[in-house]
Amino acid sequence: MTLTPEEIFEKSGTVLKGHFNLASGLHSSVYWEKFRVLQYPEYTRALCRLIADHYRIEKIEVVAGPTTGGVILAYETARQLGVRGIFAEKEPGSELRSFRRDFEIGSGERVLIVDDILTTGKSISEVLAAVASTGGKVVGIGVMVDRSETPIDFGVPFFSCLKVQAEAYRPDACPLCAQGVPLVHRGTSTPQSPK
């Protein structure tokens, strides 16, 4: 039996409720703990298959993702497409991402960018910039979950396994903070100021 993305996220316990500080610096009553789903190879394989199948006709040559969840997604999506999978990581002391560890993208090489949870698009924008610096050509973006409040135009085709409505608030306008609900910090990223 094939599970839908909703069923995969439910079975893996990915969706948490409370008052959370997101990696973007925004606050939300819903948190998507991506590693709860990424710990299961069969679920990761199924979600990456949706992304790979969506872009299969695009003649992808390399799949790139941001650290950390994007590493797993880039590898598995690339495996299913029969191409290389690489990742962009933060430059020490900088907000910029780059391809290190001898990862290279050739000029004009066709790149698919993948990521886990889309809220503000910051990580994807950073990978787009890293690909642009190599001369690569981004032909699409695929994510597990799109939780952005308004559509984000990255200038290339976009696909999400699941689109959800989950409000996110600036800390100074967060109704949960106003109610005194304790704020939970999850994950390992240092929260950034929302832009």
- More reliable by pLDDT, 52 or 149: 52
> Which residues sit opposite 59 in a β-bridge?
none
Residue tagged 């910051």 (tokens): 122
Quote the pLDDT of residue 194: 42
Quote the pLDDT of residue 148: 87
pLDDT tens-digit series, residues 2-26: 889 999 999 999 999 999 998 778 8
Question: Average pLDDT in the 97-110 region?
Answer: 90
Predicted model pTM? 0.85
Quote the pLDDT of residue 77: 98
Q: Tokens for 100?
A: 């290190």
Residue 31 has pLDDT above 90, yes or no: no
pLDDT tens-digit series, residues 115-166: 999 988 899 999 999 999 999 999 999 999 998 888 899 999 999 999 998 7
Quote the pLDDT of residue 1: 58
- More reliable by pLDDT, 83 or 34: 83
Q: Give me the amino acid identity at 19.
A: H
Q: How confident is the model at residue 83 (pLDDT cuts 50, 70, 90)?
A: very high
Q: What is the mean pLDDT of the chain?
A: 90
Fold of 5-185: Rossmann fold (3.40.50)
CA 53 → CA 63, 70, 161, distances in Å?
13, 18, 11
Residue 191 has pLDDT above 70, yes or no: no
**What is the rounded distance in angstroms from the CA atom of residue 33 to the CA atom of residue 152?**
22
Helices (H) and strands (E) counted in the chain, each on its own, are 6, 10
Sign of CA dihedral 39, 160, 80, 66: negative
Quote the pLDDT of residue 187: 63
All structural domains of the chain with their residue ranges:
5-185
Residue 190 has pLDDT above 50, yes or no: no
* Residues in contact with 41: Cβ distance below 8 Å, sequence separation at least 6, in sequence order: none
Question: Average pLDDT in the 26-30 region?
Answer: 89
Residue 54 has pLDDT above 80, yes or no: yes
